[in-house]
Amino acid sequence: MPSTDVVPTPLQVPIDLGDRSYDILIGAGLLDDPASYEGLPTSGHALIVTNETVAPLYLASLEQGLKRRHRQVHTVVLPDGEAHKNWVTLQRIFDGLLAAGCDRKTVLYALGGGVVGDMTGFAAACFMRGVSFVQLPTTLLSQVDSSVGGKTGINHPLGKNMVGAFHQPLRVLCDLSVLRTLPARELSAGLAEVIKYGPIADMAFFEWIETRIDALRALDLQALAHAVQRSCEIKAAVVSSDERESGLRAILNFGHTFGHAIEAGMGYGAWLHGEAVGCGMVMAARLSQAVGLVDAAFVDRVKRLVERAGLPVVAPVLDPGRNAERYLDLMRVDKKAEAGEIRFVLIDGPGRAVLRPVPDAVVADVIARSCQPA
């Protein structure tokens, strides 16, 4: 059963971006607490964007609460899932904004997981050339990763998140209470993004996760609070140094180059994003070993923790006839690729990451080994 402990006062993680700075608040019961919204604009219009899964759980109470701050509160309910993160679904947000007569002072509220957050942020970046939005992430994955840092966008059939914009939110509210309605598979998917912060930046945190993984999967609030806080602290430090991913920020994509290929190759939604990233981290660790940066013991340690989190560690075969070539073709569309050369986030010793190219033959060998059960 989940812990009955509560996080006594909201934890706060600042994102330092000059005039675009904002706070991440982490705690229990934040969505329904008026104090969570203090200091945010009190405009005439607000638009809540959510999805069909989250709406029955939290939309009514949020809508009621926002009516204390906005004269008119409108809603757009989207279909759920990565398969709907596209132009057609994005257009529904613009339709809602225009039908309601929203203006430049309108504030958008993204109530949902990473798909809702990414699309709401992209809509906010585009509508009237930019309006404000607030992130209200309802999945662990979005709380520790996608809601933080201002990367917004939609998928293209040839590549994940290839159409988008940088647009920072006014605030991120990570309400740990809502994680209790999260399916176990979604919770595991979120743990992939928690785990990634250890190998790239903080092995002490990685060790902490190893000792607390069962508590995290059991929704212990104290463990979740620390996991979300430390994840956000690491991401905040990286984003503050490299807001637009010109260098350092790319390390946050550990496991994502392989993971995005898995998602695109299997069809968006076949595997959850976190499932693909978890498997992708094992593949990236193996690639790091193949080029001499880490040893087999480190790779096995990453693999064991990913597996304990309830995530897949055997990569899918995307094309039985030319599997490695299919992976490589998809990875050449990755945003970190330059002139068709794939650059991978590799572990340059535990707790350190580096971005570098690797010969196709080495990558192909890692793919072949990763698609076979150990």
Count of structural domains within the chain: 2
**Is residue 113 within 8 Å of 140, Cβ to Cβ?**
no
Euclidean distance between CA atoms 185 and 101, whole angstroms: 39
Query: Is 85 a known ligand-binding residue?
Result: yes
Query: Is 67 a known ligand-binding residue?
Result: no
8 pLDDT band, cuts 50/70/90, is low
> Which residues are annotated as catalytic?
129, 151, 193, 235, 245, 249, 253, 256, 260, 273
Query: Which of 159, 181, 203 is the last residue before a domain boundary?
Result: 181
Q: Are residues 214 and 94 in the same domain?
A: no
Q: Are residues 349 and 225 in the same domain?
A: yes
Query: Which of 181, 204, 219 is the last residue before a domain boundary?
Result: 181
Q: Are residues 198 and 177 in the same domain?
A: no
Query: Is 261 a known ligand-binding residue?
Result: no
pLDDT, tens digit (0-9, with 9 covering 90-100), for 307-322: 999 999 999 999 999 9
Residue 175 tokens read as 């309400």
Q: What is the CATH classification number for the domain harbouring 233?
A: 1.20.1090.10
Q: What is the CATH classification number for the domain harbouring 43?
A: 3.40.50.1970
Which residue range(s) make up the domain with 20? 11-181
Q: Are residues 116 and 49 in the same domain?
A: yes
Where do runs of H (alpha helix) occur along 221-374?
Answer: 221-241, 256-266, 273-290, 296-308, 323-331, 360-370
Residue 25 tokens read as 């608040």
Q: Are residues 211 and 66 in the same domain?
A: no
Q: Are residues 268 and 360 in the same domain?
A: yes
Around 302, how many Cα atoms within 13 Å sit in the side-chain half-sphere?
36
pLDDT, tens digit (0-9, with 9 covering 90-100), for 260-300: 999 999 998 899 999 999 999 999 999 999 999 999 999 99
Alpha-carbon radius of gyration of the chain? 20
Question: Is the pTM for the entire model greater than 0.85?
Answer: yes
pLDDT, tens digit (0-9, with 9 covering 90-100), for 216-256: 999 999 999 999 999 999 998 888 877 766 677 788 999 99
Instruction: With respect to residue 3, please indicate whether it lies within any of the assigned structural domains.
Output: no
The candidate with the shortest Cα–Cα distance to 168, out of 231, 103, 94, 236, is 236
Instruction: With respect to residue 314, please indicate whether it lies within any of the assigned structural domains.
Output: yes
**Please, what is the angle between helix 184-195 and helix 273-290, to 10°?**
30
Q: Are residues 103 and 243 in the same domain?
A: no
For the chain, the 3-state helix, strand and coil shares in percent, each to the nearest 5, are 50, 20, 30
Query: Is 273 a known ligand-binding residue?
Result: yes
